Structure 1
């Protein structure tokens, strides 16, 4: 595991990188995300930090299950945003499917990721694979009146 925790005041974003190849790596990805957000100054909104942990967990799980069995996670932050980029060796883009409410075979993750993020893109590479970039605002948006 290659990771660094840093602070953000101004200037370029800081990053944490983690590689995963097993189901245990999902837990490590969640822990690394918690450590990453916990080390940021100023601290992000706690609800946004929890949301980033959930998004990372879903993207890493999908990369293991559907993206070729391993992934690279890169976490970054700027003064206004938190971001996660998950790369895997499969060129296939995620597809939304009907959630399986009876047998527990999934179908919730991609829909959830799309709903929870403020910006989501998929880019080709590295190699023949893809990278999914998910972004959240650092502060929880104010409720509208």
Structure 2
């Protein structure tokens, strides 16, 4: 079974979002059972969105965990906020916001939000390989 996990450092800034993307690319490239370029781009996009949302709405720090399963890649981001992501009406007037959670739910097989007993929550997305 091709299962691997990595724990990225605590993410604290926008430059750390770029580092999270780089760590994800490295993780995907090192898998014993590689995934295609399109699937890898999708995983990186979801990582970027979940980490950005955690920084913006989840208390300013987060932890990223990636796990490779035989038929999927799991992206899990933990932050200190107990509030689950919510669907918002996207701002189509040129502003930003409201598109990300819709996009993650569209790209992922499943998404889950788990409140943690030690505080905060973990948002997970399961993506096809």
TM superposition shift of 1:133: 1.1
Length-normalised TM-score, structure 1: 0.84
Tell whether 2:36 aligns with 1:45.
Answer: yes
How many residues are treated as equivalent by the alignment? 128
2:59 alignment counterpart? 68
- Please report the TM-score for the alignment, with normalisation by the length of structure 2: 0.94
Name the structure 1 match of 2:6.
16
Unaligned runs of 5+ residues in structure 1 are 1-9, 139-145
Structure with greater helix share of residues: 2
Structure 2: which 5+ residue stretches go unaligned?
A: none
User: Partner residue of 1:137?
Assistant: 128
Bigger shift: residues 79-88 or 125-134: 125-134
- Give, in whole Å, the separation in 1 of the partners of 2:96 and 2:124: 25
CA RMSD across the alignment: 1.2
Are the structure 2 counterparts of residues 120 and 81 from structure 1 closer, same or farther at C-alpha, using a change threshold of 3 Å? Answer: same
After TM superposition, what 4+ stretches of structure 1 lie above 4 angstroms from structure 2?
A: none
